[in-house]
Structure 1
Amino acid sequence: MAVRLFEGKDHASSYQKYRVSPSEELLSRVLTFLRRNTDSPCQLAVDVGCGSGQGTTLLALHFTQVVGTDISPAQLEQAVKHSSAPNISYRECPAEELPFEDASVDLVTVMSAFHWFDHSRFLQEADRILRPKGCLAILNYTVDIALSYGDCNEELKNICNEYHDILQSHRHAYIGPGSQALYEQTYNSLPYPVKEWEPCFWVRQQVPLSRYLGLMKSFSCYQLLLQKNPEEASRLSQNITQRLLSAMKVTSTETEVTMAVRYFYLLACKPSAE
């Protein structure tokens, strides 16, 4: 990996607890693309930069074997701890050095991690391990998450946007102004002739407000602020929490809200060797 983050045990635990997973509908789009472009059974999927394994687990119902890889021992410890499917295993390795044979993998997924990789080296490695007509799926979601509750949606939107803007000012320099431009550029430059780009796919779910608050604190931009200035990070989180509760006219962060997360993704099929 080009950048090593998310490696502390406390952060890994928070990551496992709060990070969102692709919805069934989003995963269905990935699998539909794969099945439309392949004539082989779904045997091996590799989830690169798997973190604490939320996305890896989703793949287990659809493949004979699923392997999650990550460079962080703390993240993999969480993944193993919360994994029960017998066809899932995990490997500690860089995204640019994957321990799989040439042309052996049916699907390579990257869920919210590609922007931390050495992009060109990873794409070369993914191409190496994908079998002909195997597929690559690179997904991510934005930090500008929307909340809905009662008749205060506009006020919640303003508070969340302010929170997002503050956190974005602390993002890691490696991802520049944002990751979506990188993903779209990667899609445009990828030499595979069969590919798809989706810039906006909303996933909505009912969650406690605490889930949103925990998710935001798991992002690298908040964690970087926390490392730099713990008191400022704590004040920011407490201020946002109180303002959201006040806008909602409730006292408990376990009050359920609708959380809308915007994904973007690219799908690509490796050409046949013929």
Structure 2
Amino acid sequence: MMALRLYEEDEHVAAYLQHRVTPRELIDTIMDFMGSKTPNKFDLAVDVGCGNGKGTELLAPFFKQVVGTDISAGQLEMANNKCQNVSYRQSPAEELAFESGQVDLVTAMTAAHWFDRPRFLKEAERVLKPNGCLALLSYTMDMELEYGHATSALNSICKEFYAALLPFRNPCLGSSSSQIYLDMFDSCTYPDKEWNGCHKIYRTVPINSYIGMVETFTSYQKLKRQNAAEAKRLSEDIRNKLLAAMQVSSPETELTMVVKYFYMLARKP
């Protein structure tokens, strides 16, 4: 099995760039684990499955060179490279074009669940230096919303949204993507490793951005391909229910979105 190609249509790629949350808070967690937040202390970071590079660029201050790799040319075309020390390459996660023992950090942000995981982990092991680190992070597909008195009602509506999409979930994800990462963590033989099953990240976003983010999920995209009218009806129904619960009329009204990240960090001996 090779990494799956799932984020390549132009419209989907653009939505992904616009709505997906970048976990900037977790970059400090990774660098603390690596042992330094001193600028440019480390030589090379490789961000695998980098997509549009929004996460990749967050690594730029800490490394002399950062390379983002992705299997999707469409995603890489959206990378707006503002950092001189960041570059991008099209390649599968399981075949990294780096010499053995060359890389200080291999990371994958919301991507490793699509890889051929045994092959990817073996490849990460190969390219990492001694004391190099592996950082894999993602989030659960059940973001919560907060808006004062309406918080409880909003989360009941969110659960309705997720339940409607569950039949369209990719079978390779199983029932829980966090279990996939926990399995990778358990299979990692490095003695120095760390697991966090829930690290909440808070973002103030308009209602429409929350809807837009859920619409980037592969389950929503599958529904849209099978029945575009039903996908649109579902989004509109959820949007209207959120508006009613908040007692507001504009879908640009802001609320707090809570994204529940999990991650594994491991240091090669």
Give the TM bin, normalised by the shorter chain.
Answer: over 0.9
What displacement does 1:123 show?
0.2
Question: What is the alpha-carbon distance in structure 2 between the residues aligned to residue 180 and residue 151 of structure 1?
Answer: 30
Unaligned regions of 5+ residues in structure 1, if any?
Answer: none
Amino acid at match of 2:21: V
Partner of 2:6: 5
Question: What is the alpha-carbon distance in structure 2 between the residues aligned to residue 243 and residue 76 of structure 1?
Answer: 36
> Deviations 1:236-263 (Å, cap 9, x if unpaired)?
1111011111111111111110110000
Q: Within the alignment, does 1:220 sit opposite 2:221 as a pair?
A: no
Partner of 2:178: 180
What displacement does 1:232 show?
1.1
Q: Within the alignment, does 1:19 sit opposite 2:20 as a pair?
A: yes
Partner of 1:71: 71
> Deviations 1:44-80 (Å, cap 9, x if unpaired)?
110000011111011112111111100000000001x
Task: Report SS of the residue matched to 2:107.
Answer: strand
What displacement does 1:165 show?
1.7
Question: What is the alpha-carbon distance in structure 1 between the residues aligned to residue 85 and residue 147 of structure 2?
Answer: 40
Moved over 4 A (4+): none
Q: Within the alignment, does 1:232 sit opposite 2:233 as a pair?
A: no
What displacement does 1:6 show?
0.6
Amino acid at match of 2:169: R
> Deviations 1:5-60 (Å, cap 9, x if unpaired)?
01111111111111101132x21111100117xxx931111000001111101111
Partner of 2:155: 157
Unaligned regions of 5+ residues in structure 2, if any?
Answer: none
Partner of 1:248: 246
Question: What is the alpha-carbon distance in structure 2 between the residues aligned to residue 184 and residue 132 of structure 1?
Answer: 23
Question: What is the alpha-carbon distance in structure 2 between the residues aligned to residue 262 and residue 150 of structure 1?
Answer: 20
CA contact (8 A) 1:23 1:203 kept: no
1:203 corresponds, among 177, 193, 201, to: 201
CA contact (8 A) 2:41 2:62 kept: no
Task: Report SS of the residue matched to 1:52.
Answer: coil
Amino acid at match of 2:70: D
Partner of 1:194: 192
What displacement does 1:224 show?
1.0
What displacement does 1:168 show?
2.3
Alignment of 1:166-177 (within 5 A): 166-177=164-175
CA contact (8 A) 2:165 2:219 kept: yes
What displacement does 1:189 show?
1.2
Residues 131-140 or 243-252, more deviating: 243-252
Give % identity: 49
Question: What is the alpha-carbon distance in structure 2 between the residues aligned to residue 48 and residue 20 of structure 1?
Answer: 17
Question: What is the alpha-carbon distance in structure 2 between the residues aligned to residue 237 and residue 205 of structure 1?
Answer: 20
What displacement does 1:227 show?
1.1
TM-score using structure 2 length = 0.96
Partner of 2:28: 28
Task: Report SS of the residue matched to 2:255.
Answer: strand
Alignment of 1:84-123 (within 5 A): 84-123=82-121
CA contact (8 A) 1:69 1:91 kept: yes
Amino acid at match of 2:18: K
CA contact (8 A) 1:156 1:247 kept: yes
Amino acid at match of 1:19: R
Q: Across the two proteins, how many residue pairs are aligned to each other?
A: 265
Residues 5-14 or 167-176, more deviating: 167-176
Partner of 1:269: 267
CA contact (8 A) 1:192 1:268 kept: yes
